[in-house]
A and B are shown apart, each in its own frame.
Chain A
């Protein structure tokens, strides 16, 4: 029980090595810095996949280790995206407006630029004034703070209310579904101030980097996503390898026993719930500039259920299982629903994979449950042990 986290948890050095290797290979093959074998859009898909892995890692902490089956963590992911999205959209639109008005004979005032920017952003929902929630959108630093603070605050308040009333199990899962549904419906409204169902768009255009080009920006975001995932993995492995990990696993297995040992179970749950909410927020803030667009559909209840499915398929309570599950399932999903998989024509019926993907996912879920009850991560354990024997 001594030494650094690299020696205590064997998966940490392997995971970091694999992630570094992946980053190297992607860089060498990228359009921005290498041979160009990987398209910009696929580089973005890979970067986005790493962000989803980060969210799955958080889900494993809260569900796999602490036993809280939250079906609302994607709400935090989306909020992180919205927080950075407001800055990206404001700064980008303002630059465009400035360029357009700059050619006028009389130079525009700052107030005029602000008004014109607001009109540009909000005319799509029939508004022209800045909503209050865009107050921090002029500052990158404030927006980055909000990426952490807003998902964190929502998780803290929601968790505090739920855990102090001792809501557990399926009731808590339903509450979290209600939370993400309510948030999504709220954002769908035009007068909420986040452009309703249009969402925020053009997020791939990073202000100040107009001349760099998407080829390089996509690699930068890939690196940032890999770095975030790597750091979060080390932090998560450190958290669960010590006494804290023993306690939250105890809460998962027998909450009452932990309570009678003198631990305030509610405090621990709130801690893990909030921390993982923040992690999801950070993941979302890295994801949406790569996706380019965010709208309220992203945080529909089904998104959070997918998050749980990834972790279940990957295998709970082993960290790398969640990462493997999220990577495999989301990449397959991109393959089958992105029009890449060729349709199969039987003459009398044509299998269109876009429609058949949910069936395939369901089938895969059943197969994993039947033949690999510990998930894909459990298979990895099995292979590693076989090699050693």
Chain B
């Protein structure tokens, strides 16, 4: 499989604290990857760097077949290039309907004039219907996003990512605060997504990661500690020491 994202030797510190330390990470097209690690391991900072929110002090981030550098691009440009991000806390536009949330995420021209002139086409309608079906919110399209349950908000946010039609989805703790039933649904949803997209899931919950059944990268103090199947990394003594053993 082709490499989609290649992160090489990135480091970043905040006020002397090294959040990321010489970290390298590669993900291929249509690959699912779980990133685990204790608090402060640099998981969220890693996502911030890939999506352009934080600039690393050193290292390179290359994207796609051509290997374009993401470091000189703005958040909006990176998102347009095909990287979608789901935040840890569900962030949807609570003041707007589910339908509107999905509509403004649809992959269409992003300029102000295009937005002013935008008409909802038949294709848009179909696409929103398909996504709503996928995330189980077909019956809630007219509802305000603010009154959705926690789990539904998480799915809506994943749906908004889907509407963007990204090549890579960065998903931060999708199962946090979910009921067992919601978790099962989320696992199935992420697995389906991985059939067509590369997916990076940051997660604390080992049981959830096991169900995803994918390669696992363990972060610790800003660098990769181990990588491989879940069983492989769980057998690693260093991983047990810093993370699982506690």
* Interface membership of B39, Cβ < 8 A: no
| Given A243-B104, A246-B104, A271-B112, CB of A262 within 8 Å of CB of B164 | yes
A190 to B51, CA, bound (A): 52
B126 to chain A, nearest CB (A): 15
Are B104 and A242 neighbours in the complex by a CB distance under 8 Å? no
Are B112 and A254 neighbours in the complex by a CB distance under 8 Å? no
Interface size on B, residues (CB 8 A): 30
User: Which chain B residues border A243 with CB–CB below 8 Å?
Assistant: 103-104, 115-116, 118
Are A246 and B76 neighbours in the complex by a CB distance under 8 Å? no
A285 to B225, CA, bound (A): 67
A239 to B63, CA, bound (A): 36
Total residue contacts A-B, CB cutoff 8 A: 71
* Contact flags B90-126 to A (C-beta < 8 A → 1, else 0): 0111111000100111000011100110101000000
User: Which chain A residues border B120 with CB–CB below 8 Å?
Assistant: 1
Are B79 and A244 neighbours in the complex by a CB distance under 8 Å? no
* Interface membership of B84, Cβ < 8 A: yes
User: Which chain A residues border B103 with CB–CB below 8 Å?
Assistant: 243, 246
B127 to chain A, nearest CB (A): 14
Q: Which residues between 37 and 58 of chain B lie within 8 Å of chain A, taking CB atoms?
A: 51, 53
Q: Which residues between 234 and 250 of chain A lie within 8 Å of chain B, taking CB atoms?
A: 239, 242-244, 246-247, 249-250
Are A262 and B104 neighbours in the complex by a CB distance under 8 Å? no
* Interface membership of B75, Cβ < 8 A: yes
| Given A260-B85, A263-B76, CB of A250 within 8 Å of CB of B112 | no
* Interface membership of B138, Cβ < 8 A: no
Are A264 and B74 neighbours in the complex by a CB distance under 8 Å? yes
* Interface membership of B24, Cβ < 8 A: no
* Interface membership of B160, Cβ < 8 A: yes
Interface of A is mostly: helix
* Interface membership of A156, Cβ < 8 A: no
A239 to B103, CA, bound (A): 16
B129 to chain A, nearest CB (A): 14
User: Which chain A residues border B104 with CB–CB below 8 Å?
Assistant: 243, 246-247, 250, 261
* Interface membership of A253, Cβ < 8 A: yes
A262 to B110, CA, bound (A): 7
CB < 8 Å neighbour of B116 from A242, A259, A261, A267: A242
* Contact flags A58-73 to B (C-beta < 8 A → 1, else 0): 0000000000000000
* Interface membership of B87, Cβ < 8 A: yes
Q: For B170, give the chain A residue with the smallest CB separation.
A: A260
Q: Which residues between 294 and 340 of chain A lie within 8 Å of chain B, taking CB atoms?
A: none
* Interface membership of B229, Cβ < 8 A: no
Q: Which residues between 269 and 288 of chain A lie within 8 Å of chain B, taking CB atoms?
A: 271
Are B91 and A246 neighbours in the complex by a CB distance under 8 Å? no
* Interface membership of A268, Cβ < 8 A: yes
Are B51 and A261 neighbours in the complex by a CB distance under 8 Å? no
Q: For B75, give the chain A residue with the smallest CB separation.
A: A259
Are A264 and B91 neighbours in the complex by a CB distance under 8 Å? no
Are B115 and A254 neighbours in the complex by a CB distance under 8 Å? no
A329 to B50, CA, bound (A): 50
A354 to chain B, nearest CB (A): 41
Are A249 and B110 neighbours in the complex by a CB distance under 8 Å? no
* Interface membership of B80, Cβ < 8 A: yes
User: Which chain B residues border A268 with CB–CB below 8 Å?
Assistant: 112, 115
Are B93 and A250 neighbours in the complex by a CB distance under 8 Å? yes
B207 to chain A, nearest CB (A): 28
Are B100 and A246 neighbours in the complex by a CB distance under 8 Å? yes
User: Which chain A residues border B105 with CB–CB below 8 Å?
Assistant: 261
A291 to chain B, nearest CB (A): 34
* Residue of A239, A247, A257, A260 ringed by the most chain B CB atoms within 10 A: A260
| Given A242-B118, A243-B115, A244-B116, CB of A253 within 8 Å of CB of B100 | no
B96 to chain A, nearest CB (A): 6
A1 to B121, CA, bound (A): 11
A247 to B118, CA, bound (A): 12
A267 to B113, CA, bound (A): 11
Q: Can you list 15 A-B contacts with CB-CB less than 8 angstroms, sorted by A residue number?
A: A243-B115, A247-B104, A249-B93, A249-B95, A254-B91, A254-B93, A257-B87, A259-B75, A260-B84, A260-B85, A261-B160, A263-B76, A263-B110, A268-B112, A271-B112
Given contacts A247-B104, A262-B79, A268-B112, list 7 more A-B pairs with CB under 8 A.
A242-B115, A242-B116, A244-B112, A244-B116, A246-B96, A260-B75, A264-B110
The 3 closest A-B CB pairs, nearest first, are A262-B79, A244-B115, A243-B118
Interface of B with A (CB < 8 Å)? 51, 53, 74-77, 79-80, 84-85, 87, 91-96, 100, 103-105, 110-112, 115-116, 118, 120, 160, 164
